[in-house]
Amino acid sequence: MSDVAERVASRRGLAWYELKQEIEEFLYQEADLLDQRRFREWLDLLAEDLVYFMPIRRNVKFGQHADKENTRQGEGISWFDEDKWTLGKRVDQILTGVHYAEEPLSRVTHMVSNVRLLDVQPSVDDPHEVTVGCRFLVFQNRVEYEQYTFIGRRTDVLRRHGDTWLIARRELILEQNVLLAKNLSIFF
């Protein structure tokens, strides 16, 4: 058995499934807050030390993907490499009503699928921090004819906060090189 298969099999206890279900529901509710444009409530789900990161993907030679395909968090220029303060500013800006890139507001649906628990600390029975992988499909329709589809892989670190969770880290691997949208004016 491969390492991956072994790891998956070893975690399939009832507590693991319960945790996975709880995490999935959290992610779906979070997506729903965004789609309902309840942006301030969405901000409340973000940890104060949040890292929100979307690298730029590059066309590199075979064998160099691990090193060079994606820009890196903490250096150079990415699509997003920011904190909760900046995301709060983005929300403030939309709520001015004169941020014309989102005025009138876009129609957005967030699809979340392929949810997997990648790591649980300290244990599945007492989960304080969960690393969860998923796929996202974010559909944006804007004004009359503008339409954008953002598809990719996401890795979140969720931190236990009372009876809910806070997002402490979000990494978004968008499956594009040249960005095929005029703007990234929505949240992912």
Partner 1 sequence: MTTQLPIDQMIDVQRGLISREIFVSPDFYQQELEKLFTRAWLFVGHESQIPNQGDFFTSRMGAESVILCRDHAGVVHVFLNSCRHRGMKVCRYEQGNTSLFVCPYHSWSYTTDGKLQGVPLYRALYEGTLQREDWPLIEVPRLALYKGTVWASWDAEAPDLLTYLGGAVDHLDQVLDCRDGRPGGSEVIGVHKWILPTNWKFAAENFLGDTYHNPSHRSVDMIGIGPSAQRGQTGRRDNEYNKGQHVWVGFPQGHGMHSVLMPEQFDYQPSYLQYPEVDEYFRHCFYERQRRQGEKARLMPFTGNLFPNTSYHGRQPRGLCVWHPHSPTETEAWRFFLVDADAPASVKEVLRRFYMRYSGPAGMTEQDDMENWLYATQASSGVIARRYPFNYQMSMGAYKTDDPVPGDVSLQITEQTPRNYYRVYSRYLKNEGWDSLLGRDVQPMREAAE
Nearer residue to partner 1 within complex by CB, 14 or 178: 178
Closest CA to 48 of 166, 183, 186: 166
* Beta bridge mates, 164: 161
**Of 53-72, which residues contact partner 1 (CB under 8 A)?**
54, 56, 58-61, 64, 68, 71
> Alpha carbon 154 to chain centroid distance?
5
Q: Which stretch binds partner 1 (CB under 8 A): 28-36, 83-91, 112-120, 131-139?
A: 83-91
Nearer residue to partner 1 within complex by CB, 24 or 103: 103
Closest CA to 181 of 108, 83, 81, 91: 108
Per CB under 8 A, the list member of 26, 42, 80, 150 interacting with partner 1 is 80
**φ, ψ of residue 113 in degrees (nearest 5):** -145, 180
Q: Which residues contact 81 (CB under 8 A, 6 or more apart)?
A: 51, 52, 53, 54, 73, 74
Least gap, CB of 77 to partner 1 (angstroms): 2
* Beta bridge mates, 70: 57
Rule CB under 8 A: is residue 1 a binding residue for partner 1? no
Least gap, CB of 98 to partner 1 (angstroms): 5
Least gap, CB of 49 to partner 1 (angstroms): 15
Q: Which stretch binds partner 1 (CB under 8 A): 23-31, 84-92, 109-117, 131-139?
A: 84-92
Rule CB under 8 A: is residue 90 a binding residue for partner 1? yes
Least gap, CB of 108 to partner 1 (angstroms): 15
Per CB under 8 A, the list member of 21, 29, 36, 86 interacting with partner 1 is 86
Question: 98: alpha, beta or left, given left = phi > 0 and alpha = psi -120 to 50?
Answer: alpha
Rule CB under 8 A: is residue 35 a binding residue for partner 1? no
Element (DSSP H or E) covering residue 110 = strand 107-123
CA distance 18 to 24: 10
Binding site for partner 1 (CB under 8 A): 54, 56, 58-61, 64, 68, 71, 75-82, 85-86, 89-90, 92-93, 96-102, 143, 146, 177-185
